[in-house]
Structure 1
Amino acid sequence: MEKRAVLFPGIGYHCDKPLLYYCGKLLQDEGYQVIKLKYVLPDLDIKNNHDQRMVLFEEACLQVQAQLCQYDLNDAQELIFVGKSIGCYVAAKQRVQTYKKAKLLLLTPLIETLTMNIDGAVIFSGLEDPWVNPAILRQKAQEQDVKLIQPHGNHSLEVKGNYHGNLKRIEEVLDALKEMM
């Protein structure tokens, strides 16, 4: 059985950072071929600028399409996309446009991700994430069929100085991913 998974990183949060690294390890252990994506993106001020964020998202989407065309993802019997930050938007857009059967695990998505059909997705977003308003995210998530998990944590789902809690949040992400398989 062909099982494939794609890791969609964020800006500065590549596939060797804890959340994506351990997701990739779990997926490999479960027999998935894991594809780790990379982007080369312009340095834009995207935090409070929706238009600049969209430019960045679209550039990342173009680069991802060029990378994914090397794989027969639609032939896979199981397909999971794991996105982090801007990678959530890119993963969701790929599912909407091309890979309809992909399951989505979205780690700290930006709010634009929820403008697409992400039904069935599992979302983790820290309550102290400065990139998204937790109440607005909760409202948008309620409009779709998604599972939203909002632990304490920043944009990396971490709380400064709480190492055991940070490891526990990684474990919670891995438990949710295991449940998706």
Structure 2
Amino acid sequence: MSDKKIVVIFPGGNYSADCPLLYYAGFKFEVRGYEKVAISYGNLINKGNSVVECIEEIKMTVLLKLQSIDFSQYDDIVFVSKSVGTVIAGWIEENLCIKARHIYLTPIKETLPYIKNGKNIIAVVAGTKDKLLDTNILKEHCIKENIYLKLIEGAGHRLEVRGDINKNIELLKEIVSTY
């Protein structure tokens, strides 16, 4: 009997599972035989609520969606998350009491409590020009927790360099190679 594997994609607020970094993450894991579940927050993000209110609402919605999956039947569970999704992924793992391997793309400060030694974190990836979380804070945190951090020089929160298509395609390839 073959291993059962699942990858769950947690998008960002304005970065859906169809955007390049997450699309290719799903694609790469599907090619390796993983079942793919891509989360969508619907209109929960743009309700004019604060980030904290949005996160709380998304947590409950995603929890309801994922409670229907029997994660105990899987030999490998991978959570790939971006931005707001990084908070949700860390929280879901704890609330469903499962052991997931994580790829955290551009985490926000609310994610830091979930990025810790003892968790199975494949990589944390962020840009040096990300305005949502100071790179130095993230760097110090990852060093303290002994977590692999891949910093993308000159990239913003979308892990892209403004106006440089060739550089962005290169970056996409480089980042996807860490999955």
Instruction: Mark yes or no: TM-score above 0.5.
Output: yes
The root-mean-square deviation of aligned C-alpha atoms, in Å, is: 1.7
1:111 aligns with: 109
Deviation at 1:115, TM superposition (A): 1.5
| C-alpha distance in 2 between matches for 1:135 and 1:63 | 32
2:86 aligns with: 88
SS where residue 105 of structure 1 aligns?
strand
Contact 1:73 1:99 in 2 (8 A): no
Q: 1:88-147: CA deviations, max 9, x gaps?
A: 010011122224320000111101101225433211011011111111111122221311
Structure 2 unaligned runs (5+)?
none
The sequence identity of aligned pairs, in percent, is 28
State yes or no: 1:62 paired with 2:65. Answer: no
Contact 2:13 2:45 in 1 (8 A): no
Contact 1:74 1:99 in 2 (8 A): no
Length-normalised TM-score, structure 2: 0.89
Q: Which amino acid aligns with 2:156?
A: N
* Aligned residue among 42, 46, 57 for 1:43: 46
SS where residue 11 of structure 1 aligns?
coil
Q: Which amino acid aligns with 1:80?
A: V
Structure 1 unaligned runs (5+)?
47-51
Q: Which amino acid aligns with 1:140?
A: H
Q: 1:54-73: CA deviations, max 9, x gaps?
A: 22211111111111122112
Q: Residue 160 and residue 117 in structure 1: after superposition, are their counterparts in 2 closer, same or farther (change >3 A)?
A: closer
| C-alpha distance in 1 between matches for 2:163 and 2:61 | 36
Q: Residue 42 and residue 7 in structure 1: after superposition, are their counterparts in 2 closer, same or farther (change >3 A)?
A: closer
| Paired positions, count | 172
1:120 aligns with: 120
Contact 1:114 1:141 in 2 (8 A): no
2:31 aligns with: 29
SS where residue 172 of structure 2 aligns?
helix
Length-normalised TM-score, structure 1: 0.88
1:162 aligns with: 164
Segment of structure 1 superposing worse, 37-46 or 132-141: 37-46
1:102 aligns with: 100
SS where residue 78 of structure 2 aligns?
strand
Deviation at 1:166, TM superposition (A): 1.2
Q: Which amino acid aligns with 1:9?
A: P
Q: Which amino acid aligns with 2:105?
A: L
2:21 aligns with: 19
